[in-house]
Structure 1
Amino acid sequence: MKKIALIGVPMDLGQMRRGVDMGPSVIRYAGVVERLEALGYEVEDRGDITIDRPGRVDVKNGDNLKDLQEVVKANERLSDEVARAVSEGKFPLVLGGDHSIAIGTLAGTSQKRKNLGVIWYDAHGDLNTGETSPSGNIHGMPLSVSLGLGHESLTGIGGTDAKVKPENVVLIGARSLDQGERDLIKEKGIRVYTMHEIDRLGMSRVMQEAMEYVNDGTDGVHLSLDLDALDPHDAPGVGTPVVGGPTYRETHLAMEMLAESGMITSAEFVEVNPILDVKNQTAEAAVALIGSLFGEKLL
């Protein structure tokens, strides 16, 4: 029987808007465990990572990094938990929480997979550093941190080496990039499929190309899916919505193609904020997409 280790990370310190810390709870409430068990998986819900609270809200240090110490501690704990799940032969499925938790997920996964591929399904690049970030919010930095760029207390989680290589990363759904992120994408040659490519080529071709690219020479592929990748019409409960994204149906197709490929070895679903949601629509979308990723079909 296929085994999944479900790990919640009720993190809301990587960004400004409160509420995303309830993401793991509402995804569970929307039936993620039952959905996976119905597909024949053995799911071990390992509960939530402990999040330390800062002494006051939105502490920002001289490096333009908000709540750095608390974000580091949570990701260190998550890294250890993910590494343990991988070593036990289980699929780590991480529920956020804001996207800063990807630092810990990738740090933990890369301890066992030294040439990890990454599919970053997101409206944003998350490639800022303290120097380039307009806000200082660490949820806009996890991919750059995982490439070994940024504050040493973040890049050093799970070891000092970079957790992923730029040639093993593909971004899908991007439509909001800061100037520093654009510069870094060009400098590192990171493969990006913006909404222009999705509209022009269609999701099927984009996913086929992305899968071939990220599966070439890697020893596993991690999916990092930010619910703000979807158009806000389909996923209203996110902190940083950007209009003009992939539809619910297009994203299901992407997950179904990943399921058919069998290449995904770890995943996280992040940035569900029930305070901003409508009747738990975004959490339910997350659960449905998780179902598709793990092989759910109509017939």
Structure 2
Amino acid sequence: MKEICIVEFPSNLGLKEPQPGKQPGVNRLPEWLSRHNLHKSINPKNILTVDPPRYSNQKDPETQILNATSLVDYAREQAYFINNLLSQNKFPFILGGDCSILLGPAIALKQKGNYGLFYLDGHTDFMDVSLSQTGGVGGMAASIVSGNGPEKLTNIFNLAPYIKEENLWCVGNREYDDEYENEIRKSQATYISLSELRKQGIKNCAEAFLLQIQNRNLDGFWLHIDVDVLNDSIMPCVDSRTPDGLTYEEFNELTSILFQSPKLSGLEITILDPDLDPTGQYTKEFVSNLTNTFNNYFNR
């Protein structure tokens, strides 16, 4: 029975400015989810906050990545906290932030052993830096943690890759474009787009992933949830909107299977931008669905 610890990583370091001089609002996500009762519903043993370095909209000349040095510093600090929690057999329930918050937990997982990653996202986030127009790590997070990209980010503490490519499952992408999808198709990762997920069946997909974790004798797996995997009609408050997406019925079916697994080591929630949900109506519905499913199935 693991104690749940909410860890807040209120970072927007992996995103470009939505407009000149305005920072992305996802750094307010933990406080916003708390205001809409996520913390109360999960009832964690403790709540930790690790504040990020200052945001900049300038690309690092060496890597052409936004906030590269700050991301490295932040990832080191994040990894220290997550490593401590995992060592105490606690369950980190992480609230971002943008998808770049994955770097710290991925490093911590590598420090502990050999882990899988279930990357549930409306995008692959497996973009090569040469294809990125923004230089934002948010769009490259899955690629970077599996060892692809500038060594400054992929090889912190000489631990590359943090997650082996063959242990990454990238699920839910609906940006159907060959140039974009080919990056992950040519990798060793398992790529299941939204249309493929529906074709295979959600239960079949989740169970196949868990079977792979078991058959490879991995130490556990991490669950990344980018809220933009949800249907645009129920989750429009994200930085990169795309038509379609999972319904709550589909999302709850998938997460409930993963939440039941004793191999689930921790999870993170990213990308919901409070600036884009001024009344909180979409956030309330998300919190209600996520916490009900988590509390019903997570083995405490």
* TM-score, normalising length: structure 2: 0.89
Question: Considering only aligned residues, what root-mean-square deviation do their CA atoms show, in Å?
Answer: 2.1
CA contact (8 A) 2:2 2:89 kept: no
Aligned ranges 1:199-214 → 2 under 5 Å: 199-214=198-213
1:175 alignment counterpart: 174
1:259 alignment counterpart: 259
Q: Which 4+ stretches in 1 moved above 4 angstroms?
A: 177-181
Post-superposition offset of 1:98: 0.5
After superposition, the C-alpha distances for 1:228-285 in whole angstroms (9 at most, x for unaligned) are: 0111111122111221111112101111111233331111011110101252234334
Query: SS state of the match for residue 239, structure 1?
Result: coil
1:69 alignment counterpart: 69
Query: SS state of the match for residue 93, structure 2?
Result: strand
1:22 alignment counterpart: 28
1:186 alignment counterpart: 185
Q: Match of 1:256, as an amino acid?
A: S
Cα distance in structure 2, aligned partners of 1:10 and 1:51: 7
Q: Match of 2:123, as an amino acid?
A: H
Q: Where does structure 2 lack aligned partners over 5 or more consecutive residues?
A: 19-23
2:138 alignment counterpart: 139
Cα distance in structure 1, aligned partners of 2:89 and 2:264: 14
Q: Residues 202 and 160 from structure 1, CA distance in 2 versus in 1: closer, same or farther, beyond 3 angstroms?
A: closer
Q: Where does structure 1 lack aligned partners over 5 or more consecutive residues?
A: none
1:50 alignment counterpart: 51
1:111 alignment counterpart: 111
Cα distance in structure 2, aligned partners of 1:249 and 1:164: 29
Cα distance in structure 2, aligned partners of 1:133 and 1:216: 35
Aligned residue pair count: 289
Post-superposition offset of 1:181: 4.9
Bigger mean CA deviation after superposition, 241-250 or 266-275: 241-250
1:233 alignment counterpart: 233
Cα distance in structure 2, aligned partners of 1:272 and 1:100: 14
Aligned ranges 1:214-233 → 2 under 5 Å: 214-217=213-216, 218-233=218-233
CA contact (8 A) 2:166 2:190 kept: yes
2:21 alignment counterpart: none
Cα distance in structure 2, aligned partners of 1:215 and 1:31: 35
Q: Match of 1:28, as an amino acid?
A: S
CA contact (8 A) 1:169 1:214 kept: no
CA contact (8 A) 1:6 1:94 kept: yes
Post-superposition offset of 1:13: 2.0
Query: Do structure 1's residue 288 and structure 2's residue 291 form an aligned pair?
Result: no
Post-superposition offset of 1:161: 2.5
1:162 alignment counterpart: 161
Post-superposition offset of 1:44: 0.7
Q: Match of 1:44, as an amino acid?
A: N
1:31 alignment counterpart: 37
CA contact (8 A) 1:92 1:266 kept: yes
Q: Match of 1:133, as an amino acid?
A: S
